[in-house]
């Protein structure tokens, strides 16, 4: 079952990386982001997109962490009950 999942995931991963490289090559113009009075340093647009993607992944993982920990605790509790 894992091999089938890997066979499906690998081509999708290759396509995603290729699209990311194309996005990076097309969006190399430096831009500065402005929020209210604050202005960021100028970085390529691709760098801002990558940074926002990474921050989204990190925040998503952190948001799912409490549920994952509760799930692990429940599994441990149920395993102990099953052993008894």
Whether 66 contacts 59, CB under 8 Å: no
- Residue 22 pLDDT: 85
For the whole prediction, is pTM greater than 0.75? Answer: no
Please count the structural domains in the chain. Answer: 1
- Report the alpha-carbon distance of residue 56 to residue 59 in Å, rounded: 5
User: Which ranges of the chain have pLDDT less than 70?
Assistant: 1
Q: Which structural domain range is residue 18 located in?
A: 2-83
Strand, helix or coil for residue 69: helix
- Residue 23 pLDDT: 79
- DSSP annotation of 9 reads H
């Amino acid at each position: 079952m894992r091999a089938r999942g890997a066979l499906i995931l690998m081509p999708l991963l290759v396509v995603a990386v290729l699209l990311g490289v194309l996005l990076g090559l097309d969006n190399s113009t430096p831009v500065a982001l402005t929020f209210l009075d604050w202005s960021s340093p100028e970085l390529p647009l691709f760098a801002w997109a990558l940074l926002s993607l990474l921050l989204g992944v990190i925040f998503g993982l952190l948001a799912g962490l409490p549920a994952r920990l509760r799930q692990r605790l429940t599994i441990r509790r149920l395993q102990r009950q099953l052993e008894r």
